[in-house]
Structure 1
Amino acid sequence: MKSKGKYIPMLLLSLLLWLAWQQQWWKGPQRAPHATVHNNTSITRTDKKTNHVTANDPAKLNRHAPLKYTRHARCRMDCRHVTEEEVVDILQTGSVNNEKSNPLDEPCPTYALEGYSEEGQHLRVVFAPCEDTTSVVTCIDLDKDWACSCN
């Protein structure tokens, strides 16, 4: 009968660890989605867990603008085996990641859009809308670290 008592601390520790995992105490308090105002023209709602826009996109980002690729973007696309068609698809259907975007960048704001290619690559493409064209600044594979020697 003495052996039953030695399992109680282990059971309590297991219960405590399970509760911590369920509550995710180490990540801090979870907040509800919040609103962000961009240049007093566009209100976006961001889900704090994914950092993706869930309402309307920033007003300056034209998802159908002609694209101009920087040398850096071309090099990154080549390293990561990303085609222009995949970049266009991310522009048209991707979600804006507000933490990686900077609408106050000069001379043009930058917006990081994320999504999946048809092959399943999880991509982040940074776009800079300026005047009548949008520049593709860089392209990142979020799941795989490719060897690349781009500047």
Structure 2
Amino acid sequence: MNRKVSRLLTGIALLVIVLLVWQYYPPTKQHNNVTHDEGFNRNLMPIIYTKHARCRMGYRHIDEDEVKQILLNGRINYKKSQLNSKPDPKYALEGYTADNQHVRIIFAPSQHGMVVITVIDVNEEWQCDCK
């Protein structure tokens, strides 16, 4: 009888461990089999900056060259992107600037060029008056 109880308790303990691991480390979602750059043209020109993006760039000390480097070399963060956004999808690209600033830049490719929506410093919350 002790052996049966021991096996039952061991089974329950393993089940609890699996459920805890599942809760804290959920399986990553597939992004509809989207590859790294599928549907995203990194060479779309001209680069068009919104008033909001220009404001954020000023407060965060990020210049146009750094934005271009993130556009060309940044990693798409699909969790922060809005690929079904209308009228244009929004891609969140992340990377590090030359001065090691971790940034996320939201780009929206449009028929007029690549629109920079906003610029975010991932590690630091800057005070600004941007609307």
What TM-score, normalized to structure 2? 0.77
Distance 1:110 1:141 in 2: 18
Structure 1: which 4+ aligned runs deviate by more than 6 Å? none
Aligned position for 2:82:
102
What TM-score, normalized to structure 1? 0.68
- Match for residue 36 of structure 1 among 31, 35, 51: 31
Aligned position for 2:7:
none
Unaligned runs of 5+ in 2: 1-16
Offset of residue 31 of structure 1: 4.3
1:86 matches 2:81:
no
Offset of residue 26 of structure 1: 8.1
Amino acid at match of 2:31: T
Amino acid at match of 2:79: E
What is the correspondence of 1:41-120 to structure 2 with a 5 Å cutoff?
43-44=33-34, 55-59=35-39, 61-66=40-45, 67-120=47-100
Unaligned runs of 5+ in 1: 1-19, 38-42, 45-54
Q: Identity of aligned pairs, percent?
A: 38
SS at match of 1:28: helix
Distance 2:100 2:81 in 1: 23
Distance 2:125 2:24 in 1: 31
**Greater relative CO, 1 or 2 (CA 8 Å, sep 6+):** 2
Distance 2:38 2:84 in 1: 12
Distance 2:96 2:52 in 1: 21
> How many residues align structurally?
113
Q: Tell me which protein shows more strand as a share of its residues.
A: 1
Distance 1:140 1:111 in 2: 13
Distance 1:27 1:138 in 2: 34
What is the correspondence of 1:12-27 to structure 2 with a 5 Å cutoff?
none
SS at match of 2:38: coil
SS at match of 1:78: helix
Distance 2:22 2:102 in 1: 24
Offset of residue 120 of structure 1: 0.3
